[in-house]
Amino acid sequence: MKTRPRTALPSGMRSLLRGLYVILDPAVHSTGSLVDLLKEAADHGARLFQYRDKTATMKDAYRLGLTLKLASADAGALLIVNDRCDLAIAIDADGVHVGQKDLPLEHARRLLGDDKILGISTHTPEQLTAAAAMRPDYIAYGPIFSTHTKSDHAAIVGVEGLRAVRRLSSLPLFAIGGISVESVEAIRDAGADGVAVISAVTQAPDIGGAVEDFVRRLT
């Protein structure tokens, strides 16, 4: 099915919905600051970030989220908040990423307005088709590979699973789950517009180098 993207999203934001999508999760980056990580990744070419924090109090998430949003704006990058529309509104984030168990897309859209990014995680062809009908700005699909980062993840879909869903929507499609620099080319060839990664960047011994590798292979 061809789903036309919405027209209200500023084109400068839309153009960043591809390539490397770095998810910043304090649980997966226990050493050093997430803000320094964002700055280093942005210095080496990352332009799309997500703040994912499953455990912080709202007050702490607000403080960290605001710092990340300011650093990201300084770098000309976008910051999207995982799960929480209230937090995204409070820090004026660029958007929200919801999962299958989060606020339904139409309600998230009502809260955020038309000029913010809304993305959604999907794990089966049926979920992807249903999500696409709700006109998000991008769709994530996975997990492509096995991952230690998300303990409650859905069944692994594999590169062939990704290839099979590409034709279901023309919206920007991000592959997620267990993706490393080595697998990027196969994922791109299967039709993804980008890759969303946590550990491959946040746990890399050389964060800037890892970002450059991803960006080079995705361009």
Residue 100 in the binding site for ligand TZP (CB under 6 A): no
Taking the CA of residue 126 as centre, how many other CA atoms within 13 Å lie in the half-sphere pointing to its CB? 1
Residue 83 in the binding site for Mg ion (CB under 5 A): yes
Q: How far apart are CA 133 and CA 169, in angstroms?
A: 9
Q: Which stretch binds ligand TZP (CB under 6 A): 55-63, 86-94, 195-203, 204-212?
A: 195-203
Q: Which stretch binds ligand TZP (CB under 6 A): 13-21, 105-113, 144-152, 211-219?
A: 144-152
Task: Name the H helices within 44-157.
Answer: 58-74, 85-90, 105-112, 125-133
Could you say which of 153, 163, 166, 217 contacts ligand TZP (CB under 6 A)?
153
Structure token digits, residue 207: 């964060």
Residue 122 in the binding site for ligand TZP (CB under 6 A): no
Structure token digits, residue 146: 């096995």
Could you say which of 147, 173, 193, 194 contacts ligand TZP (CB under 6 A)?
147
Q: Which of Mg ion, ligand TZP, none is residue 169 near (CB under 5 to 8 Å by kind)?
A: none
- What lies within 8 Å, CB to CB, of 138 at 6+ separation is 17, 117, 119, 171, 172, 173, 174, 193
Smallest CA-to-CA distance from 26 within 65, 80, 71 is with: 65
The residue from 47, 52, 69, 109 that is catalytic is 52
Could you say which of 85, 200, 204, 218 contacts ligand TZP (CB under 6 A)?
200
How many residues bind ligand TZP, per CB under 6 A?
Answer: 15
E strand intervals along 55-190? 78-82, 95-98, 117-122, 138-141, 173-176
Residue 175 in the binding site for ligand TZP (CB under 6 A): no
Q: Is 52 a catalytic residue?
A: yes
Q: Is 170 a catalytic residue?
A: no
Q: How far apart are CA 104 and CA 134, in angstroms?
A: 9
Provide the minimum distance between the beta carbon of 208 and ligand TZP in the complex, in angstroms, as a whole number: 18
Q: Which of ligand TZP, Mg ion, none is residue 102 near (CB under 5 to 8 Å by kind)?
A: Mg ion
Structure token digits, residue 19: 């390539």
Residue 125 in the binding site for Mg ion (CB under 5 A): no
Could you say which of 45, 119, 136, 143 contacts ligand TZP (CB under 6 A)?
143
CB 186 within 8 A of CB 159: yes
Residue 25 in the binding site for Mg ion (CB under 5 A): no
CB 65 within 8 A of CB 34: no
Residue 102 in the binding site for Mg ion (CB under 5 A): yes
Q: Which residues are near ligand TZP by CB under 6 A?
A: 121, 142-143, 147, 149-150, 153, 176-179, 197-200
